[in-house]
Chains A and B, each alone.
Chain A
Amino acid sequence: MDISFPNRISWLSGVAVIGLLTAGCGQDPIPEPALSAASESPVTGDTYVEASLGDPSRLNPLLASDSASGSVNSYVFNGLVKYDRDLKLVGDLAESWDVRRNGLEIVFHLRSNVKWHDGAPFTADDVVFTYERLVDPKVMTPYGSDFALVKSVTALDDHTVRVEYKEPFAPALESWGIGMVPRHVFVGKDFNTHPANRAPIGTGPYRFVQLKTDEKTVLAANPDYFEGRPYIDRVIVRVIPDSSVQFLEMRNQSIDTMGLRPDQYRAYDAFFMNHRKFRYPSFSYTFFGFNLTRPMFHDVRVRRALAMALDKREIIDGVLMGYGRSATGPFPPSSWAFDPTVPEVPFDPGRAKALLAEAGWGDTDGDGVLDKNGSPFAFTVITNQGNKMREQTALILQAHLARVGVRVDIRVLEWSSFIHDFVDKGNFDALILGWNLGRDPDQYLIWHSSQRGEGRYNFVGYDNPETDRLWEQGRRTFDLDQRRAVYQKIHRLLAEDMPYIFLYYPESLPVVHRRFQNVETAPAGIGWNFREWFVPWSLQRYRLAS
């Protein structure tokens, strides 16, 4: 569960790790259990056990691109700013800040009582160092371009940092939510391969204790945390690569939280005797992405035809079971950039066939599969293991495209191989994946043509000068209405140009064990006040030996 925002944008590896920073909320009406002891005052103790589908491989907020790592990093690291319960940016490591010269300059006033987990003081030098790594071409970070417009970052004194921008950059403040890394640990050593990336030292509410690959990560409460020690003693993130197994473990009370699939959410109430269910729209979307460097997908008519051949209603009703809605573009409905007037792609297999014929695809050999110049219209769609909804979506897509004469093979791959061997290297025809988004609508990292290349987020190879220009403009515009106009234009352009088929905006359906008190839903979802959660002494399940 994300308790702050570790990265502005990250992979969504599966239902289990959907970020919980979401707008709008609603709690399912479950009768309050007898064990709710609201009047008790907070006490320390107990352990919070979560599960992740993938191994948190990069415990460094600059290098992490997957939500499993992001989830752990969010306990260990802090940014300069963070979102509060109402999704307002507030200070985190920065106590306050001044924005000067129309946004060209931000001065952060840092907290003075912050210590790294190894006892060293957190100072302005760490901020400067973090920035230098972000823009260092040797550092394998996907977040560099958020800082490309920075002219300089200067430490004015130990607790004051001045950031100057070359041009106005609207997401500037949000971008400083990225976790700060300790200069004294990394300085003079290789940043990408430093052992601290597997044993992180941060400033956050929890200290790193242990990482066992493909098994678990253990974190312990930081007694010196600048906002005060969190009540929950330990956080354990267990790697359970299958959501069905997670579900069984949840029923068995061996994990305290997980993101449910819609069918699990709908299961018998008795399954949730010990847990509370929550439901709210997530700030994410799931898409079908074309590898645009493949010649068969160059023609927009072909991409449009494939979108028209897909009856999305079946996915919304059958897979999401109504817990989510059809997507029209890259902004979820709860974002201010969302344009409600962008139309859905109509389901129309007849038009789809006509468009394909127009693009030169016909079934000349009568085998039921379209062909052109002797090669059949066949491709492989890949997705990750553990996310049943994506597998089902792939199967539905396969069936629907077969009806218009397109042959689709499906490969379901293990998460880290999926990301590192296939997605990062552009080694795929098409894929089904999801984006976990930041609050700011800037998705330059995903769509700008400069963000193509290995390990970057524009892995579909989208290159459109017009949207490039608009993404740049959106970053330079501070006026909310003008910015909205820019993003609504992008929304429309992407919906027409279809580098992805935007599939759906899923809802977050998390459960949390009932013994945890102070779990509160807000526009930010749940988890935003994790530090204040506690378990009354009599209900604590795990006690430390010492």
Chain B
Amino acid sequence: MLKVLQSGVYSTVQDLGRFGYMSTGVPVSGAMDQYAAKLANLILKNNENDAVIEVALGGTSFEFLKDTVICIAGGDLNAALNDHSVQLNHPISVKKNSVLKFTNPIFGVRAYIGVKGGFLNKNVLGSRSFFKEITKKYVLKKNDEILYSEVKTFNFSQFAHIKINKEHFSETKIEVNEGPEYTNLTSDQKKALQHTTFTISKENNRMGYRLDEVIVNDLEEIVTSAVMPGTVQLTPSGTMIVLMRDCQVTGGYPRVLQLTDNAINKMAQKTTGDSFNFKLVP
């Protein structure tokens, strides 16, 4: 078991998402930065879909109630194991009763704790990803316990330290494809989308990021249709919303852009006040 000592800002269990139930209205969910979640699992020789813990921003601590091997990937939230700073993207042996603490973000905003064999909370409708009304818990709270298997031996010798491209966290060009309603935009609107530097507003969470800057908008709303993580919606007020992993499956606002998979992962490491430009790719 992993015991939550301090819940912090927002910590959840996530895998790569819940598929096959969109037509009953169930969001996909899954790790916000799937590059980082997969990396943690890869380093532990887990399956890439094994469940990890996503820690946002910090103020969070956990106690390991069994021996295991972990890997921390994603943003640098100043992680310390028993008060010793830990190396990111590296397998780390953890003894029973060790305490892992995340204090504050140095770069990026979301860190991932992978554990050998993955976290074993209940699989609901094909996924362990937390979501309100789907899984029993939707956010980790103090004293919650998450199951994992005890691991006593692990071959550390095969692992070289993996160097992570810092641009994953600092990149300000967010790659997008044209969304289904892009062609309905005027050339002025298209220019504004490409040349405006956008800022993430304080309304940002696992469902979506609302942006501060406004695009003049007279597009009609669409007949409610499918949306997905990475869809950029243009609302009647001209505000844009970048949908993230917990977004609804349908929406009625024009879908003007679609983030690439990699761009969603990069967006997941940004937060309030961070700015970026959209870069249209073919």
User: Does B associate with A?
Assistant: no
